[in-house]
Amino acid sequence: MTPVKSRMGWDTEPLYLIDGSAYLYKAFYAYPDLQRSDGFPTNALYILTRLLLKLLQEEQPVYAAFFLDGKGPTFRHELLPSYKGHRPRMPEDLAAQIGPLKTLLDALGLPNEVPEGLEADDMIACLSRRFRDQRPIVIIGGDKDLNQCLAPQVCVWDPSGKQEKLVTADSFAKQFGFAPTIWPDYQALVGDSSDNIPGVPGVGPKTAEKWLKRFPGLETLRDNRERLSVKEQEKLVPHLDDIFTYRQLTRLRTDCCAERDLDGFAVQGQDTGALRSFLQEYEFRSLLRDHFREEGAAKQETNARIAASTTEIDPDSLAACEVGLYPDGESFVLALAGKEYRPDWDIEHWVDHLSRAERVYLPSLKDLLVADSAWEGLPYARCFDLSLGAYLLDPEQRSYSWDKIRQRHQNQLETHPDNNALSIMETGRILRRELANSELLSLMQDIELPLVGVLVRMEKRGLAIDLEAFRRFLDEVQEELDGLTHEIYDLAGQEFNLRSSQQMAQVLFGDLELPTGRKTPGGVPSTSSQVLEGLRNVHPIIPKILRFRTLEKLRSTYLEPLPQKVDDTSRLHTHFNQLATATGRLSSSGPNLQNIPIRGEFGPRMRQCFVAPEGSRLVAADYSQIELRVLAHLSQDPTLLEAFTQGEDIHSRTAAVIMDIADEHVDSEARRQAKTINFGLLYGMGPQKLSRELGISLNEAKTFIQRYFDRLQGVSAFYERIEDAAKQHGYVTTWAGRRRLLPDINSRNANLAQQARRMAVNTVVQGSAADIIKMAMIEADGDTELADAGARLTLQVHDELLLEVPREAAETAGKRLAAIMASVADMDVPLAVDWGVGTNWAEAH
């Protein structure tokens, strides 16, 4: 990458000022499980080492300094005692890495400092002000507070993300419309949740930007407050005194380094011996290899020769050994004891020989099983699936292919890239160690690996559909669509493309002059369903368009494409995605059979088209309110525990509790409201959405939510525990120990932090429910009673399982499946299961 100095066109050597504390925390929470083989945490240390080595190599700074926040309170705590008061203490695993970090900085010859009673940002701002007239300044950090340091010869550069960010005074002014020096004023208005700075209630970024463009600075804004609208004045005036205090909190100091001399920030030469020892001590093998290239290159050449020289192997040598397996076209490459082999065995012999190994590292077990069912003979307990391991460690990546996994771990590998089998084994060992450190090995071995075979067998079986029923349904829908099209054209007074949002916007808001709602990012009035629902009673064309859209989705998503995807026995075969969701829930694609409508006008009719073959029946069994039952168990809330234990209707019980009414007086409307609240709060629903869902005022929605948490204090305390744990560890865990990383939980961006808090609760509850249904699938697939009855799993949809079973054994299989599902997890509330039998899915459900 071109050095910043060259990109900025500077002739003088810049001074690089590094906000070490920001990167330290960011690295710690982004990679929480990276450890040395003895368990010593190295996550923050590794990321910072990689960043600093790259910085020194590419930028070759002459002057630079690395800063960490000083210990103890700062002047900001005197101004506002609650400043950063909600932040937990530095985690022990992070504190343990501070000493080694200083060792690294000394080995790199990089000046570093921990200013007493100051934050790193203050030191950076002060030095930036002191030296910016002498030479350019490159501030390396991602903290938005550093924006106020921007000046003609000062830029802020963050090279740590997937895409680097380089901000200059000019680019800042273009984005915000005011000078960088006004940034503390802006922060005072909008607040900063990460630092516990309240800001002005009701004032967000857009309002603050608008005010400061008109009145640059709090003093100017205060003196011209009469020129604001009445509503704006009501927001601002009560907080005029506070915002000047908030500005003092957000304004960085520039008066604390008057005695500093530039020579004190001269980068010294690296201590090669000390750096090599450091990289070896903390097992940063890839960095050691890359930094000391000659030694690494020689080893790579040796590995490359190994691949070319070994082609035969004695199968007995695999016994009780670890091996790596790489599928290479029609053949396989085997890694064993530092060498690679390409034996000419058929699949049965591969399975037989590999079954002797202690452990087989492979990119994807599912790919093998899909390609040839003979691989089912390989004991899953002996396998280590890299794709599953990488997914469990970081479930929000887009791809878990071998190429992507190798790319992510290439800096940790010593093996030559051409040696895929050896690389697979080395990467597998790294992932297995990380899984063990994260207490995820049992989840992989007991649930995820056994589930692979279950899913492959379900995919191969598929689900039968009634092609004639699909055709009749499609004909009816198409006939109504044709009629609606003509009616809409008549009401519009013209023909237009009903599937074009742009043409529809012109007709509705231009020609018919209907009131516009929101606009798209391109500035065109939105024709979203939410906008049109708000106009339903404004013009008769709107209900017609909404009906058209509903039917068109039914036609284009299900009725036309699904019959085209069947095999020659009229069965659909979906692909179950085990590596697709952060909560652990399964999804399906090609086609997606998990979004088939269940209820409403078309749900039953749609499910009638999915049928059992002649002589068979479908058995559908689904958990009743499993997520609320999981919530009751995990939260130990007395109200929820009692309601489920006594078999009460949970929504009616909740309605009675939060609405202060007797159980017998709970009507259908009260139950509906309670149901919306019960499920909505699980998914982080706020008062605005709740008010829309229930058709009540915002204040009423806030009251409902407050009452819910006041009356169900066990739930309230549980939510707080989840949030505190997420903030402390950077992740949350489910019933089975599944983790979801939440790097934004401590973000200074209030929106990101709030989103992470919602994810935390949702992941624990929904992810635990996903764990339970997976356990039930494994039990059902391996159950001898179901097997003897000829019952076979064909589909999983969230909390529901579908069996195909001979007609005479359907009732027996249904009872057995329900019993398995109800007993698969030991909980303090019963797991209720509803089940039924039918010739089609609708009857069974």
- What mean pLDDT value characterizes the chain? 89
Alpha helices (runs of H) in 712-805, residue ranges in sequence order? 713-729, 750-782, 784-788
- Secondary structure (DSSP) of 789-811: TT-EEEEEETTEEEEEEEGGGHH
pLDDT digits 0-9 by tens, 582-595: 899 999 998 999 88
Task: Sheet containing 137-140: give its strands across.
Answer: 112-113, 63-67, 15-19, 137-140, 154-158, 165-167
Domains and CATH numbers, the chain: 1-172+261-289 (3.40.50.1010), 177-253 (1.10.150.20), 292-438 (3.30.420.10), 466-565 (1.20.1060.10), 627-733 (1.10.150.20)
Distance (Å, whole) CA 477 – CA 482: 9
Question: What was the pLDDT predicted at 417?
Answer: 79
Residue 436's alpha-carbon distances to 33, 47, 429, in angstroms, are: 9, 21, 10
Q: What is the mean pLDDT of residues 167-194?
A: 89
Contact criterion met (CB below 8 Å) for 841 and 802: yes
Q: Euclidean distance between the first and final Cα of the chain, in Å?
A: 59
Mean pLDDT, range 713-732, rounded to an integer = 92
- State the number of CA atoms in the 13 A half-sphere of 453 facing the CB: 20
Contacts of 634 (CB under 8 A, 6+ apart): 718, 735, 764, 765, 768
Per-residue confidence at 659, pLDDT binned at 50, 70, 90? confident
Task: Please compute the mean of the pLDDT values over residues 89-96 and round it to a whole number.
Answer: 84
Among the listed residues 23, 30, 108, the one whose alpha carbon sits nearest the alpha carbon of residue 64: 108
Calpha distance 6→14 (Å, rounded): 11
Residue by residue, DSSP assigns 584-625 as ---EEESS--SSS--STTTHHHHHTTBBPPTTEEEEEEEESS
pLDDT tens digits along 598-634: 888 899 999 999 999 999 999 999 999 999 999 999 9
Count of CB atoms situated within 10 Å of the CB of 713? 13
DSSP symbols for 317-349: GGTT-EEEEEEETTEEEEEETTEEE-----HHH
pLDDT of 297 higher than 90? no
Q: How far apart are CA 741 and CA 397, in angstroms?
A: 11
Please, which pLDDT band fits residue 750 given cuts at 50, 70 and 90?
A: confident
Arithmetic mean of pLDDT, 203-207: 89
Q: Are 760 and 722 in contact (CB under 8 A)?
A: yes
State pLDDT tens for residues 489-519.
999 999 999 988 889 989 999 999 898 877 7
199: left (phi over 0), alpha (psi -120 to 50) or beta: left
In this prediction, residue 110 carries a pLDDT of 93
pLDDT band at 521 (very low <50, low <70, confident <90, very high): low
pLDDT at 305 > cutoff 50: no
DSSP, residue by residue, 67-125? E-PPSS--HHHHH-TTTTTTSPPPPHHHHTTHHHHHHHHHHHT--EE--TTS-HHHHHH
Mean local confidence (pLDDT), 17-44: 85
- pLDDT of 85 reads 47
Confidence bin at 561 (pLDDT 50/70/90): very high
* pLDDT at position 199: 87
Which tokens hold the place of 41? 């945490």
pLDDT of residue 78: 57
DSSP conformation class of 150? -
Q: With cut-offs at 50, 70 and 90, classify the pLDDT of residue 737.
A: very high
- pLDDT value for 87: 55
- Per-residue pLDDT, averaged over 677-697, amounts to 85
d(CA 184, CA 246): 8
Confidence of residue 19 (pLDDT cuts 50, 70, 90): very high
